[in-house]
Structure 1
């Protein structure tokens, strides 16, 4: 097994040399040589099997796939920069038993980004956390071309701890090995609830921003900004809780779908892919509990990509609760429910789009791929349930929600303006796990209120 290899980009060692008064006379008070540490740029490659401490006085360049394993911990100081060039699209994999302790601050976030003069999506591969919580084996191995010895994920410990990621930005990530076989901005494979994910932004990613493959990790304060595919993608039996999250789409930017028929969404949530030969009910079933999201779709802006789809796409046997949230600007539809199993959970009140606001350029409500007779829902009956039993509100005119400037992609402002119903609609936390102590009980709906902008300082826009 290889250990980590560091290549130090060294400058000259500068030594002070005193001038001589003559060829034979020495300076009585010579200046001693002063070494200058210019080892500020370190290449990181291979396999890390012992603890490492990365500090902000150096820049760390990921070269290809870097695997942290064997109970090793990577500690990353606030303000540290980790970069990658497009020739290798570096990927940091925190493998089972290993940990990452990346604890930045609002003033000094930790940044994974491109090392190119003109950054582009895909210059960085991404960050992958691999835990030992339960999944349903919908994916048998990790996607994205990882080495076979590091491709297995999951286990039986739902409380597994992969470490901490706090005040972290991941920019220009994404690595497409084959169609449908990619590295995302932040990929979470069977990550357990002992892990802390808080204040993480994925910016201008080539594929999904956040993808949860099984596991039970809980997260707060997530931002997906201008990523090409889905912003919050969940499958393989993911059962975590998330509060305070933002999804903002660049209308002109999607990944290359080819002839796959795939589309880009703010949410895409599955249990299993039936083409893998699984039943919709394969356990554990994907069943996230989500609150206080604000998701902004392309809203048919000038030049919008034809590959945009839905604000929310719930399908393939998944259960869900999305509450106290705002979803606007969906291109083809706002709320889409696919497949009989998914629709059945919604009809039984197991799944709910609850106490939330919806607006869409396309159809506000869509039901698709139902084969039972009679059908469990059509768009009208789904709309009636959402706006009645589920206490959510559909706004035909999204401006009536009164967010400040949500469609200004270069400088989006999703704060509720004065008079916004988001400020006068109290959050409801009385259903489906929302009463868990993990959730702050907000007096508003959406990701932020008018006075507490938790994106300040550490998050970036205009990329």
Structure 2
């Protein structure tokens, strides 16, 4: 797409630079005086403040350029139509200050009468933290002038996103070249991400391309591809997160062999010509997740994969978590370096609960790893032994022992542990110094919620 340095705001009309349909004036008053359809397009070149008394419509790709701050008030609504699938890009050196509240969340959503995934492109944060270069440019067809990402500042600050919903996002430009619900490219640890829900996305819910950003209270609900996708050397921390899958909804996989997972975590893609050991190595530290799979429900898509797919040279720690109802398998390890990191105790799925419809522990075999003898049985023994993880019987009764309130009710899911649930207690933060970091709240429960407080109340939506 050509760069367009034009912004249409209420009462302010400048000359356009492109004749595409997404650059025409809104016939319903987008550039008029009724404050109901303020249009935003092109490049934002000076500080801007969006208020809740207006509805802002993204038209195509919108770039907040370096040095500019976009402030969004609680209760503000930002919409997009399917003809242009608006994408908001907060570029390197820019900031977004989107601080909603539980009572008044900030909402990015469809402007269509019958909303559908892909009506909105998505939100992209671009920072200056380090990565390993697995991706050379930002995915999704962004303007070449805004396609570079990352840098050398791991403490970089791209602003704040708090109490934000992103609905009906996803923009597939080419196979494997998409905009996700929330895409995070080289975002640094100075950025605040807290209480964010991605709903009914056409691709991934959250994807982390390198960087060091930390986050709490994330929800991926009914996204078509992966819920938490991490690669390019991502090294942040995340605590309190929920992943819920619509059994019938996946994106078009074609003949790629791809599948949709709750977690898909890589270091690099070897087809890019990189060694799996390319540094910095993807190594997230995660705690208190609840990931709910399709559980072989009626009409389940054949493109569903694993609860956790750890591959392509990644290291990881996932602790105090619940992964149940996974379709193809539960805990998947593949590629020799990924397997070695786990077998040698560097990685861990620690002090957690695991269940799947089938292949609860699923390990790629046939890899020769110096000093390591492994198979599904030895990995299972390590999970239940030194990793202190409980594995439930495979099948469709994943909640029988887990005792969550109503996790497989997709229209109104409730993942709070019920009375008698083993998740109500027993959390441990002693697997590594990273997990013991003061950033983590040292709660007693496992999974995303305790048995009394519903941190999703008021600001989230379900049944979409």
Indicate the TM-score class for this superposition, using the shorter chain for normalisation: over 0.9
Is 1:395 equivalent to 2:392 in the alignment?
Answer: yes
- TM-superposition CA deviations, 1:294-340 (whole Å, max 9, x none): 00000100000000000000000000000000000110110000000
Residue number in structure 1 paired with 2:48: 52
CA distance in 1, matches of 2:6, 2:109: 21
1:5 shift after superposition? 1.7
1:281 maps to which of 270, 277, 283:
277
CA distance in 1, matches of 2:246, 2:56: 29
Q: Secondary structure at the match of 1:254?
A: coil
Is 1:178 equivalent to 2:180 in the alignment?
Answer: no
1:458 shift after superposition? 0.3
Residue number in structure 2 paired with 1:382: 379
Residue number in structure 2 paired with 1:251: 247
CA distance in 1, matches of 2:155, 2:51: 29
- TM-superposition CA deviations, 1:207-231 (whole Å, max 9, x none): 0000000000000000000000000
1:79 maps to which of 75, 78, 95:
75
Whether the 8 Å contact between 2:365 and 2:375 is mirrored in structure 1 is no
Whether the 8 Å contact between 1:344 and 1:376 is mirrored in structure 2 is no
CA distance in 2, matches of 1:377, 1:163: 44
CA distance in 2, matches of 1:233, 1:166: 20
CA distance in 1, matches of 2:430, 2:243: 22
Whether the 8 Å contact between 1:350 and 1:432 is mirrored in structure 2 is no
2:150 maps to which of 151, 154, 160:
154
1:370 shift after superposition? 4.4
1:38 shift after superposition? 1.6
Whether the 8 Å contact between 2:243 and 2:290 is mirrored in structure 1 is yes
- TM-superposition CA deviations, 1:95-130 (whole Å, max 9, x none): 001000000000000000000000000000000000
Q: Name structure 1 gaps, 5 residues minimum.
A: 13-35
1:7 shift after superposition? 5.2
Residue number in structure 2 paired with 1:366: 362
1:6 shift after superposition? 1.1
> Could you tell me the TM-score, scaled by structure 1's length?
0.93
CA distance in 1, matches of 2:44, 2:202: 27
1:41 shift after superposition? 1.3
CA distance in 2, matches of 1:106, 1:431: 33
1:348 shift after superposition? 1.1
Whether the 8 Å contact between 1:263 and 1:309 is mirrored in structure 2 is yes
Q: Name structure 2 gaps, 5 residues minimum.
A: 11-25
- TM-superposition CA deviations, 1:359-385 (whole Å, max 9, x none): 100111011164216874211111100
Whether the 8 Å contact between 1:232 and 1:267 is mirrored in structure 2 is yes
1:432 shift after superposition? 4.5
Residue number in structure 2 paired with 1:102: 98
- TM-superposition CA deviations, 1:161-219 (whole Å, max 9, x none): 00000000000000000000000000000000000000000000000000000000000
CA distance in 1, matches of 2:81, 2:299: 29
Is 1:449 equivalent to 2:450 in the alignment?
Answer: yes
Residue number in structure 1 paired with 2:35: 39
